[in-house]
Structure 1
Amino acid sequence: MSNTPSKAAAAVATPLRRRAALGALGSISALSLLACGGGGGGGGTAATSTSTTSTTLLGGLSLSEGALSPEFTPATTSYTASVANATGAIAFSPTLADSGATVAINGTAVASGVSSGGFALNVGDNSFNIVASKGGVSTSHTVIVKRAPPTLSADASLKALSISTGSLSPAFAAATTSYAVTVANSVTSVTLAPTANGSGASIKVNDATVASGGASGALALNVGNNTLTVTVLAQDGVTSRVYTVTVVRAVATATASGDATLSALALSSGTLSPAFASGTVAYTASVANSVASVTLTPTATSADATITVNGSAVKSGGGSAGLALSVGSNVLSVVVSAQDGTHIITYTVAVTRAAAVSTDASLSALAISSGTLAPTFATATLGYTASVANSVSSVTLKPTSSASATIKVNGVATASGATSAALALSVGSNTLSVVVTAQDGSTTRTYTVIVTRAAATLSSDAALSGLTLSSGTLSPVFSASTTSYTASVINSVATVTLSPVAGNSGATIKVNSATVASGATSASLALNVGSNTLTVAVTAQDGATSKTYTVVVTRAAAVACSVIPEETAGPYPADGSNASSQTYNVLALSGIVRSDIRGTLGSSTQVGGVPLTINITLQNVNNNCAPLAGYAIYLWHCTREGAYSVYTESSVNANYLRGVQPTDANGVATFTTIFPGCYAGRMPHMHFEVYPSVAKATTASNKIKTSQLAFPTDICTAVYAAASGYTASVRNFSSISFATDNVFSDGYSLEMTSLSGSVATGYVANVTVSIAV
């Protein structure tokens, strides 16, 4: 390097050198430039680009509701989407691939990258035409948005029902469909006012249509029983419900000849509901299963009236014959005929006989969450055993019985067929009980399960499941079976800590002979300049098995820091500056502040290449080389094929191998990426810019330093020869050297990275960047 001109001299000579480089590269054909991906780093040779016109004008399209099918691609012109009936309007967000183009939706201009106004939707198909145009060229995409029809209601219930004269008995309830009303003889007609509960339902009263909430026409009443019907048909046209109102109109006079009412009605078992009243004609009652028959004792108001009970004549005040009851509902009728033979009133009593009470207190199934019941479950077998490992600290039981029985597991109610609460297990024998009580409330049966939990077995696991180093990066990446590691740190790192995690919780750990709890951080471990061997000794729970892990940490020697040279950002910075006749700016993208830069924002796809972790330590030469915390570093580089994102795709929507990271308290910013490729005319390199903060890292006008990073030739040779995808780099690398590189030819010692690792496991690069602030 003694013959290499100084940076100051190089700065004066730079225009001449760049012009010479342009002349030298002028002979490289356009085909060669395209084949190497455009070149990202070297001087002005790649600053000249060929502009082409793209017919891909629309780069993206999204909807405010629903999803495009298929997913949007510029080449696909027809899409569909479906939305619910509740969606009455939809908005579109088109993104133009060409900033000079315009876009219109159904003839309405829409700005790129923002949401349009809402477009009204009819039920069914709605067609939208998205046309992007530029300079007489246009592309058209069609979206058919299907709005679902409204859902038809199946509600055929009433919300209210009233009568113009008298009162409904019982009081109206939507679920009750039978009512009775008594009116005076002078009332010759009534009206009913029904209100539907479900929207869209239709109502008929005695087959005449009535509007919901409105009153029916006059309904004529005969003396005695009059049955009025209210039929509700739900909006779906299928579901219906019928409500009946029995209106009893009194006789014209109080003379005995026309009186068909009862003055009393008694039931031999159960209680009438509601309480008997002469004008109420409908009653209910409930009896136990043991009541197989009942009698009715009706008393006529008029001694001259005649009475039948279920068609059999009964004397007024006398009891009927026994009326057999089935399990469930039994409707008994009392027909009273007045002396005049004209007036008749029918009273009904709906008697519900309960089902037989079960005495079944058995289980039909019993399962345990861990272990196996012995013997196999059988309903008649009450005692079981099961064995579980020590690691099983609780079990659950799942008992199944008849629907009418109740179950308690260890005293806690558990539904039939459901899983019990967790039942804690001590080491040794644990008795669990399942008590089943039959429907009759007195018959019980107890099943027992004796669960034996094994004693703890002392583990012989002396492996670590995790190991982290406070500074530097372990090489290779930690694996429980790998016991030897290396790491490198800068000179300013005088101590480190280790955080080991045991594979088994019963193991003990010592770091450099000092005990450290699993998952905890060790005390600070002093580092000498050079190699330092740290040990992590793990002793298994059994006290006999052990394993020792070693970490050899190399602390760099102290060096006087010098300001890293200012270098060109190249033609593809995408930092808002004017490069290659474009002002692309990925720094303005949400999410560009990221450590892993291998993929495009919002995509799970990553570019291929040998994994590389790069640690950039930023320090200040004006403050004794102290680390600069809270600054931001923007890093970008080419793919293994030699291409740069953004400019390759002519859109910031593809932004792989670009990202921003803040520096931590030690001045370190870390990126996860790939080893860069080598394209014609340049040594392998990476570009970076330094910003005073992440908040400032949004445009090139705020940067305080631009430079590049170099890579050792032996590592480059190894990667390109052994790794897939770097075929072109082998040829390009053989034709370039640091001496002929138009950026590094005047010196690169302050830009050289230090690497450790391998092609198989990936590499870790460390570099210290000094600036003056």
Structure 2
Amino acid sequence: MLGTRNRAAFPRVPPMGWDVRAGLCGHGVVARRVRLLRRKSGVRSRRSRPLRRVALALPLGAFLCSATVGANAASTDATLSALSLKDRDGATVAVSPAFDAAVTSYTADAPARVARITVEATKSDDGAEVVHLDGDDQTLTDADAVAEHFQVDLEAGANTIKVKVTAEDTINTTTYTVVVTRAVPMASADALLSNLDESDDSGIVAGTPVDSSTAAPVAAIGFQTGSGERGYNLTSVKVVLANAAASDGVRVRIFNARSNGNPYYSLYTLANPTISDGTLTFTAPASATLQNGTRYFVMFDSTASGAGNDYEIRGTESESLNSQAVGWSMNTDRHVGKKPGTLFWQTHDEVPLVEISGDALVRANDANLTALSIEDGNSRFRTGYSPRFDPSMTSYTSAAATQIDQITIDATPANADGAEVAYLDGDEQLLTDADADTEGFQVDLEVGANTIGVRVTAENGTTTRTYTLVVTREASRVSADALASNLDEHFSKRLYIGNLEPGKTLRAQALGFETGGNEAGYVLTSVKILIWEITHSAGTRVR
């Protein structure tokens, strides 16, 4: 029977999936719903028809009750249980004030090296949704969707990051705002290589300290250039100095590398600014270039002599970079020696804070040579030069025997179809080819030093680069009035004279000659010979 007097006929436990609250879905409610339906349909309440109405009223009552209470109610919780920031190394960036779910506004400071920050927002209710917005309430995109949590790139200055939490009921929301102020970077955005914004946590000494009159530490940091097709222009090197003064003889140079990875030859000496503590820019010579995919060093030393002429290059233990052109890299340790030309280098973990600036060479401004050769015109000789050719190196020396009075120079520009090559003397005046009919460019040599410039003008007509070669021709050993001489011929064999070993036969050497046709004959004044090695008891005799 359906009615208030028959409540025991209904189960006390609601059907599966129902959430029956007291007074919302009781049996009396169902009974009232049945009586209401009867009145609306015009059917009188008669006890003779209870079973027929029960069959109809029960499902209708169930439907009406479900529409009223339904399943579990959605959560209204739109708060966070935690909010934190992390830098690129996973270190916490403190927010102020300390996080409290009821507080929605925060600030944080980040050093310049933190160009990206991780936002870790933990919602209090699993059913809530979290989105990240910028200061204009526009949806932010995760800067690194692969990394855990949400990544935001930071500009220098104030960066507004909003974390909007929407409750499960989709009605209640809470927005937490964090303003992250990133320090202005020292590193140039277009630098080829820079770590200037890394932590300044060490000092690297160069020069001669007060407590040492002989040691003169030299510090060098290696770097690798990128894959630019024609290499790179070098414009400047920026460093951070401490305890530095003009009297310390601060010098910054670029070295190439030996095959063993150590510094080798100096390529460029960079112009010193007014020396002081702080960040200084050292300017490279005009048209200084670096080859692609090549290892070089920035070298720090002192030109001053005497104890107390030392200074510090500020350094870091961080291996991170703040700016990095494609393919460029910096050594994770530095070289330290007692002088620039040393063969003995030690490595240390701290590296200088340094920035290398320039740009990629293009065809129009490429004034490099790819090859430079010298021939002396004698099949028995090949005049070489030192050091070995490097397109980045512009100064070379060579020695020529006295009988070499002319050399042939072949210079091959990197832009063979667009660049032009001219040859200059020591006064930068154009030289004339001494033998225009012979391949290459011929230059006559005087006795002593001969300065020859090979100037390359790039396709743009304005960029130039001059390779300088100093060829020193030996003076003649032959007297101007000698009757006969071969002293200037190439020395290729030694002739031994004397008793080389006890019991051995004494050796003698003789050279025949024939006099000329002077009717009265000749007066002999002297004979000159070239002795390679002699002992004090040799008893040298010339007859």
TM over 0.5: no
Higher RCO (CA < 8 A, seq sep 6+): 2
What TM-score, normalized to structure 2?
0.30
What TM-score, normalized to structure 1?
0.22
